[in-house]
Amino acid sequence: MATAPKEINQPAPEVLLRVENVTKIYDGTVKAVDDVSLTVNKGEIFALLGGSGCGKSTLLRMMAGFETPTKGKIHLAGQDITNLPPYQRPINMMFQSYALFPHLSVWENIAFGLKRDGMPKGQIAERVEKMLNLAQLGKFAQRKPHQLSGGQQQRVALVRSLAKRPQLLLLDEPLGALDKKLRETTQLELVNIIEEVGVTCVLVTHDQEEAMTMASRIAVMSEGYFLQVGEPDTVYEMPNSRKVADFIGNVNIFDGVIEEDEADHVTVRCPECVHYVGHGVSGHTGMEVGVALRPEKIMLSDKKPKGEYNWCQGEVIEIVYFGAHTTYHLKLDSGKVIKAQELNNTRDLSCGLTWGDRAYAHWNDLAMVVLAQ
C-alpha cells in the first residue's frame, strides 16, 4: 500500500481535483456515470476500481475533457474546468490502449509532445534525459518500441505522459497488457516514478490487488456510482456492503439475525453457527444482516473448539494449493460451502486435513464485519 506514515498534526491536505455531482448519459439513455462526487488531494494516487462497464473510463475521460458531463462540475486547483477543452487542461491521460509511436525511438517518443508544444531544443533534451533516468531507460534511448519488453514499453508510455509535467495524471488500466509477474514489479516502479515526480494521479483498474498496492485511496464503483471510498485497508477490512466485501478479495457471507445487541458486542444467529462480534454495530435486535468473514481469518482444526460461538463444522470437499497458502472448501451441515485459507509457513502441509475429513472452522470475535445491506 502506498500510504505515507500518518503523522500527528499533519497539515490539512490540499484538494487538487474536485468532482461535484457529475452524471454522464450517453445517447440520452445510457447512464454511464451517476451523480458521482469526489475530491483528490495533491500528491495522491487515487484508484477507481470496478468491473467492466461500470463507468471508470467515462469518469476519467470527463476529467481529461474528452467527454462533457451531462450534469455536474469539475474543478482543478480551484478553477472550473468542466467545459475546458483537453489541450487547455494541465492534465495528461494515458489511455486504456496506449500506443507508442512504433517508428520513433524511445527518446523521440518521450520528446514528441514537448516538440509539439514548441519547447526549446535544449530544454527538451534535458527533460527527456531526466525522464529516461527516472524510468531507468537510459540505455534503451535509441531503441524502437518493438525492441523492448512489455514492462519497458509501459515505462516509456508512463514517462512520456509525465514529460510535460502535468498537474494531474490520468492512467486508464496502465498495466492491462502485462502478465501477472511483470504487473507486480511494474506496479511498484510506477508508484516510485509518480511519487518522485510528485504528480497527482487518478488510476483506473479492475484489479483489486493493483488498486490496493498502488493507491492511497480507492473508490469502488458499480453501475456508475461509488459504493465506498476509503484507504485500501479500510475498504478491505471494513467493507460497507456485501457488494464491496465480495468485490474486494474473497469472502464468506453468513445470513443471520441479530440476537443480542449490546454496546460492546452483538451476537448474530445463523443457520450454521452463532457469531459473537466483539464490538457494537449500528443495528437492532431482530434485524437481518450478513456476517462477512475473510477466508484467511478462519482457522481449521480436527478438535472441537471451546464455547458456543464463532465455530462451525463440515466436510472438506476441496483443497486448492496456491504455494504460499492453501484454500480448503468446507461443506457445512446446512449445505453452505465456506472457504478457509491456511498459510503454508512450514513444509508439512499445515493442518493435516484431507478430502472427506470432518473439520472444525473457528475464528476470533474481531474477525468479521456485520453488514446491513
Ligand X SMILES: Nc1ncnc2c1ncn2[C@@H]1O[C@H](COP(=O)(O)OP(=O)(O)OP(=O)(O)O)[C@@H](O)[C@H]1O
Task: Name the one range near Mg ion by CB under 5 A: 14-22, 23-31, 50-58, 222-230.
Answer: 50-58
The residue within the footprint of ligand X, chosen from 58, 161, 216, 240 (CB under 6 A), is: 58
- Per-residue contact flags (x/-) with Mg ion for residues 252 to 291, judged by CB under 5 A: ----------------------------------------
Q: Specify the residue, 135 or 201, whose C-beta has the smaller distance to ligand X.
A: 201
Q: Specify the residue, 163 or 215, whose C-beta has the smaller distance to ligand X.
A: 215
Task: Name the one range near ligand X by CB under 6 A: 27-35, 150-158, 249-257, 332-340.
Answer: 27-35
Please, what sign has the CA dihedral across residues 35, 41, 49, 171? positive
Please, what sign has the CA dihedral across residues 249, 255, 258, 259? negative
> Which grid cell sits at 234?
479500510
For residue 174, state whether it binds ligand X (rule: CB under 6 A): no
Q: How far is the CB of 108 from ligand X (least distance, A)?
A: 30
Q: Specify the residue, 58 or 228, whose C-beta has the smaller distance to Mg ion.
A: 58
Burial of 22: CB neighbours in 10 Å, binned 0-12, 13-18, 19+: buried
Burial of 234: CB neighbours in 10 Å, binned 0-12, 13-18, 19+: middle
CA–CA separation, 35 vs 12, rounded Å?
A: 26
The residue within the footprint of ligand X, chosen from 89, 183, 206, 362 (CB under 6 A), is: 206
Task: Name the one range near ligand X by CB under 6 A: 51-59, 244-252, 325-333, 335-343.
Answer: 51-59
> Which grid cell sits at 357?
475429513
Task: Determine the size of the site formed for ligand X (CB under 6 A).
Answer: 14
Other CB atoms closer than 10 Å to residue 146's CB: what's the count?
Answer: 8
SS3 232: helix
Question: Are the C-beta atoms of 6 and 59 separated by less than 8 Å?
Answer: no
Residues found near ligand X in the complex (CB under 6 A): 26-27, 30, 32, 50, 52-58, 96, 206
